[in-house]
Amino acid sequence: MFDNFKKLIGIRQKIILGIDVGSASIKAVEISRKNQNFILENYGELDCSLVKKPSIGEADKNIISFTNKQLAEIIKAILRESEMRSKEVVFSIPDFSSFFTTIKLPIMSQEEIPEVIKYEVKPYIPLPVSEITLDWLITEGEISKTSLKILVVAIPNEIIDQYKEIAFLAGLDLKILEPEVFSLSRAVVIGEDREKTVGLVDIGARSATINVLEKGMLKMSHSFNVAGNEIADAIARSLNIEYNEARGLKEKQGLTIGTGKNAEAEKAMIPLVNFILEEVKNTFRDFYEDEGKKPQKIILAGGTVLMPGLKDYFSSEFEQEIAIANPFLGLSYPTALGSALKQTAPSYGVAIGLAIKGLE
């Protein structure tokens, strides 16, 4: 799947890093493989709010609000503190730095597809084709025999170059770059869910992405910039408090019923949570109109879904089963870690999926 974003790996290694550079935190996991079993060797995270950001303009075009050098130093600190020893890494490309579209093509040969795709995607991607790297996946049809439905992913070359530099500065050997939706789905849509139509709702700090997968294959993806940061901002404005205090209220109280300041915080959050819900409903509606199917299950992922009361709020709006993502279920790890891992599980899906990709 999506081979253009890969480097030639050569001999497969038995241990690899998966690093998710998020806007709220940077997460790293180290995973090894023994036969068909994936083993969690180590994991670590650093909250970006604890790191001093560069001056205005210094990192304007960067992945998040840090320079490449700063990001490399943060990654080195995580690896050092967590005692991770692998140098081979797989990085994710954030959804807000990726462009997804689905196109339909008539019957054509393998050789014709690349040039036709370059022409067809122009209206959907706000950058010249010369400034992006394209990859694609045929989701329906057979080459040279039937019409085709193709999922196309475009990544700005500037973003790819940034990740290459970050890996170099961190002393790591970059093996693969992958859009985070594929990493996330690999880690959390597992077991029986890979035979279902699943709605995967990823609510991070900076953006949210709604995905629909059928038998493990991505069919639809929609991203927007309303997520955890905006919810915390709304609380801060409503209560006239500092952002970090508002973030704490969001994470500790969430949508649970409270009084006084807690009630005001909940009142500030509800419109944004409702906006996210409507985006989910609209995406599922679009999928139904296109495919004639509804998701059988909804999986919530990303750090923001740990907000108390959010799962219950979703359950009150959807008839489908609602589950909180736990990517650690697909790994072997010491039993003693179970409780600690469960508390952070939804936010580690991308990093775990990346490492698994590197070991496949």
DSSP 55: P
DSSP 6: B
pLDDT score for 53:
58
DSSP 332: B
Spatial CA neighbour of 183 closest among 10, 27, 37: 27
CB atoms within 10 A of CB 240: 7
pLDDT score for 64:
61
**DSSP symbols for 99-122:** EEEEEEE-S--TTTHHHHHHHHTG
pLDDT score for 196:
97
> Which residue type does 325 have?
A
pLDDT score for 58:
46
Does residue 57 sit in helix, strand or coil? coil
pLDDT score for 10:
40
For the chain, which ranges sit under pLDDT 50? 1-2, 5-12, 55-61
Question: Is 99-154 a domain of CATH 3.30.1490.300?
Answer: yes
Task: Give the angle subtended at the CA of 248 by the CAs of 310 and 267, to the nearest 5°.
Answer: 55
Contacts of 93 (CB under 8 A, 6+ apart): 5, 155, 159, 160, 163, 177, 178, 179, 180
pLDDT score for 113:
94
Residue 209 backbone dihedrals phi, psi, to 5 degrees: -135, 130
CB atoms within 10 A of CB 340: 11
Q: In this structure, are residues 90 and 176 in contact, taking their beta carbons and an 8 Å threshold?
A: yes
Pairing of strands 297-301, 321-324: parallel
pLDDT score for 56:
41
Q: Count Cβ neighbours within 10 Å for each residue of 8-33 and write b for 16 or more, e otherwise.
A: eeeeebebbbbbbbbbbbbbbbbbbb
Q: In this structure, are residues 43 and 345 in contact, taking their beta carbons and an 8 Å threshold?
A: no
The alpha carbons of the chain give a radius of gyration, in whole angstroms, of 20
Beta partners for residue 93, in sequence order: 179
Tens of pLDDT along 178-194?
Answer: 999 999 999 999 999 99
Encoding tokens for residue 285? 């509606």
What is the pTM for the complete model shown? Answer: 0.89
Spatial CA neighbour of 194 closest among 213, 211, 215: 215
